Amino acid sequence: MNKINSIAFFVLLTLSASAQALESDYSQKIVVNADQQKVDIKKNTVTFFNHVTVTQGSIKLNADKVTVYGTGEKGSEVMIADGHPAKFQQKMDDGRLMKGHANHLRYELKSRIVTLTGDAQLQQQESLVKGDTIRYNIKSQEMVADGGKQGHVTTIFEPQQLQQNKNKQK
């Protein structure tokens, strides 16, 4: 059990390494570009199709289709992205990029939670987590990965000392 706790600690350390998401991202406007859009006023949804790009500060989301669900409360929208794969990235305050991709991606703006489902992957530099579902809370920097039907999660991490040596060689 001690070994498992140590591994979990190193994975979180490597993925977060005291870096936090750029706080300024959340005060930026959300810009969506796509080939088409469909608005359903009754359902309070907007769906964007083909070559969809969503940006908010350093946050970037790319997908084949993105549906934005309004909740009536500004800033609490939910975005559902589908793609082959749908991609998400955000710059951390130390300049490193947190990248993720999956077949299905859910981004809850208010809670700052990204859920990647279907061949999900989350990466920061050389550290990587793969599974069926990955739920990442950007604000608290907590992550839960589930192997789904595969039954396992794959984690690849580079100990911090090796990473520091690589950085010195650059």
- CATH code, 62: 2.60.450.10
Instruction: Provide the residue range defining the domain that includes 96.
Output: 2-169
How far lies 60's CA from each of 89, 101, 161, in Å?
A: 5, 11, 30
pLDDT at 162: 55
Spatial CB neighbours of 159, under 8 Å, sequence gap ≥ 6: 10, 14
* Distance (Å, whole) CA 18 – CA 44: 38
Query: Which pair of structure tokens corresponds to residue 169?
Result: 């060689």
Count of domains forming the chain: 1
The predicted model scores a pTM of 0.76
pLDDT at 166: 61
pLDDT at 15: 44
CB hemisphere CA count around 167 (13 angstroms): 10
pLDDT at 8: 39
pLDDT at 12: 41
Residues of the chain whose pLDDT is less than 50?
Answer: 1-19, 161
Query: Which pair of structure tokens corresponds to residue 107?
Result: 């981004």
pLDDT at 142: 87
